[in-house]
């Protein structure tokens, strides 16, 4: 979806990859990013815009989050589900009073654009791909703490296009399955800012971290995203996405029946865990590597990284039935079998929140 353009981040000394995965010091870059002293080039990510008077009510009717009445400058997140409740697309949402902006992972914007274009009917909406005009820059901390970034933040309708991740707390209408008094997302003050591509060079003097640094901090915060966790079968409950991207009491939308049924009466078939990995082999698993219990595959790694404080860690999706106390292993694609201790994110009893008492079976009533 991108056209050829100058790459001011890729021209920095030590840059590896496009966008740069690191600049030669991944762990040091993590520390600078965590402290709010660095920015991350995310210019490969997709950006859509929806304009027109019906834009918010239209998106509200199609996706999982309550977007009707979304105030200008307030960040939201929403999911497009298939009729069976599986997540097809995830969008970070920001409205500026005239246009709704959809920030999406690289390679996902075109499919969502095609779906939205087919669903316009007679409504007053226009959907456009804006990836060639704007780039995404990530950082930690609110926009006011980054004056150089604030000075180049796009604001085509007078509202800076700065998306502060709602994952840091449970949104209105949402629900958290993670049973912990201190969720790591409380320290996840993540920000994405849209910048006109022609102005990216104005950030040349700002310290930069690579995408590896950002992924490490995201794993630490237990934060799911489309590029890594989605596999065609994922439902929001499995990765605790009801926390930020689902409104449980809004009107009807595609896939809502599954969302309600699993949350109220059932349990998600899989659950997200954080894995603390044995680092003695000097190897990290990659997405898709199998998670094993006593030699039997019970899940897969979605993303892994070397964290500056926690060491080698990964997010993985495993079967709900896996004992939370069980010692696991990851079969690395590079060969070594890596011991893995699991930290529960989504518990085995997630769901069934309606707490409806079971009726006695026919013939079981005592007389």
Per-residue pLDDT at 121 = 83
How large a percentage of the chain has pLDDT more than 90? 92
Distance CA 198, CA 184 (A): 36
Assign domain 26-229 one CATH number from 3.30.1360.120, 3.30.365.10, 3.40.50.10470, 3.40.50.300.
Answer: 3.30.1360.120
At residue 251, the pLDDT reads 85
For residues 249 and 174, is the Cβ–Cβ distance under 8 A? no
343 DSSP β-pair partners: 274
Report the pLDDT value the prediction gives residue 2, as an integer from 0 to 100: 47
What does DSSP assign to residue 16? B
Confidence at residue 367, expressed as pLDDT on a 0 to 100 scale: 37
Is a pLDDT exceeding 50 seen at residue 314? yes
Token digits for 12?
């920095």
**359 pLDDT exceeds 70?**
no
- Rounded to whole angstroms, the Cα distance separating 197 from 290 reads 39
Residue spans per domain, the chain? 26-229, 271-345
Distance CA 118, CA 132 (A): 22
For 271-345, the fitting CATH number among 3.40.50.620, 3.40.1190.20, 2.40.30.110, 1.20.1090.10 is: 2.40.30.110
Question: In sequence order, which ranges of the chain are alpha helices (DSSP H)?
Answer: 26-34, 55-62, 109-118, 147-152, 211-220, 226-229, 256-264
Reply yes or no on whether the pLDDT at 141 is more than 50.
yes
Tens-digit pLDDT profile for residues 6-23: 689 999 999 999 999 999
Worst-scoring range by mean pLDDT, 117-121, 208-212, 219-223, 315-319? Answer: 117-121
Q: Is 173 left (phi over 0), alpha (psi -120 to 50) or beta?
A: left
Q: Sign of the C-alpha dihedral, residues 130, 136, 142, 143?
A: negative
Confidence at residue 346, expressed as pLDDT on a 0 to 100 scale: 98
Q: How confident is the model at residue 361 (pLDDT cuts 50, 70, 90)?
A: very low
For residues 269-287, average pLDDT: 96
pLDDT band at residue 126, thresholds of 50, 70 and 90? very high
Tens digits of per-residue pLDDT, 323-338? 999 999 999 998 899 9
Which pLDDT tens digit goes with each residue over 40-85? 999 999 999 999 999 999 999 999 999 999 999 999 999 999 999 9
Quote the CA–CA distance of 112 and 121 in Å, as a whole number: 16
* pLDDT(363) > 60: no
Q: What is the mean pLDDT of residues 215-231?
A: 97
The chain-wide mean pLDDT, for the chain, equals 94
The pLDDT tens digits of the residues spanning 184-220 come to: 999 999 999 999 999 999 999 999 999 999 999 999 9
């Amino acid at each position: 979806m991108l056209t050829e353009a100058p790459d001011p981040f890729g021209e920095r000394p030590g840059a590896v990859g496009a966008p740069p995965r690191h600049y030669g010091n991944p762990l040091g870059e993590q520390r600078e990013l965590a402290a709010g002293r660095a920015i991350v080039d995310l210019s490969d990510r997709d950006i859509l815009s929806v304009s027109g008077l019906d834009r918010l009510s239209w998106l509200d009717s199609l996706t999982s989050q309550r977007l009707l009445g979304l105030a200008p400058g307030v960040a939201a997140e929403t999911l497009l589900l298939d009729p069976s409740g599986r997540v097809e697309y995830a969008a970070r949402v920001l409205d500026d009073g005239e246009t709704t902006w959809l920030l999406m992972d690289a390679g996902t914007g075109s499919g969502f654009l095609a779906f939205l274009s087919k669903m316009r009917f007679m409504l007053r909406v226009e959907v456009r791909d804006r990836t060639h005009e704007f780039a995404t820059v990530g950082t930690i901390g609110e926009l006011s703490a980054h004056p150089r970034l604030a000075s180049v933040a796009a604001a085509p309708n007078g509202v800076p296009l700065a998306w502060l991740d709602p994952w840091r707390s449970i949104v209105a209408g949402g629900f958290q399955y993670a049973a912990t008094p201190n969720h790591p997302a409380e320290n996840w003050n993540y920000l994405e800012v849209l910048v006109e591509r022609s102005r990216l060079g104005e950030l040349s003097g700002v310290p930069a971290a690579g995408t590896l640094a950002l992924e490490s901090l995201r794993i630490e915060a237990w934060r799911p995203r489309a590029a890594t966790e989605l596999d065609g079968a994922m439902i929001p409950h499995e990765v605790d996405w009801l926390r930020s991207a689902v409104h449980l009491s809004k009107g009807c939308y595609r896939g809502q029946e599954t969302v309600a049924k699993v949350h109220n009466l059932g349990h998600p078939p899989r659950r997200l865990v954080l894995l603390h990995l044995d680092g003695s082999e000097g190897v990290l698993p990659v997405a898709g590597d199998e998670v094993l219990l006593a030699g039997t595959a019970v899940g897969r790694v979605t993303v892994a990284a070397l964290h500056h404080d926690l060491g080698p860690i990964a997010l993985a999706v495993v079967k709900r039935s896996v004992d939370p106390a069980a010692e696991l292993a990851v079969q690395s694609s590079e060969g070594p079998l890596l011991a893995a201790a699991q930290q529960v994110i989504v518990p085995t009893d997630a769901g069934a929140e309606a707490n409806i008492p079971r009726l006695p079976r026919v013939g079981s009533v005592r007389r």
